[in-house]
Every structure is written in structure tokens, then in C-alpha cells.
Amino acid sequence: MLLSIFGMAFGWTFVNFGFVIPTLNHLTGTTRDVSAFANRATGIVAAILASSIFLP
């Protein structure tokens, strides 16, 4: 079950970044600056990894 949830999350992320966002950028003629999220994403990934290692 966990693997299927991970697969669905990965699939939705792929669809979102690969199709939805580029289509919206094309239709509206604008882009989003997402560089502000880079530091937050690194911290979130580190927290998830740490919790998966140290929590049973």
C-alpha cells in the first residue's frame, strides 16, 4: 500500500510539473519564480529522511 501511495504521489508530481504548469505558463504567458522554495525543500527532505531512519 505504501508503494502504491508513493507511486501515485510521484505520478501526480510528474503530471503537474511536466504538463499542467508548462501548459498554464504557455496559456497565460507568465512563469513562476520558485527559487525561494529551494532551501525549504532541502530542509523538508532532510527531515523526512531523518524521521524515516530514527523512527521505527
> What tens digit of pLDDT does each residue of 27-51 get?
999 887 777 766 677 777 777 888 8
Cell numbers given for 5: 501511495
Q: Above 90 in pLDDT, residue 14?
A: no
Range of the domain at 40: 2-54
Residues 13/19, Cβ–Cβ less than 8 Å:
no
pLDDT at position 7 = 87
pTM, 2 dp: 0.48
Give how far Cα 24 sits from Cα of 10, 12, 28, 41, 55, Å.
Answer: 20, 16, 6, 23, 40
Q: Which of 7-11, 17-21, 36-40 is predicted with the least confidence, judged by mean pLDDT?
A: 36-40
pLDDT at position 2 = 81
pLDDT at position 56 = 61
Residues 53/45, Cβ–Cβ less than 8 Å:
no
Number of domains within the chain: 1
For residue 29, give the 3-state DSSP assignment. Answer: coil
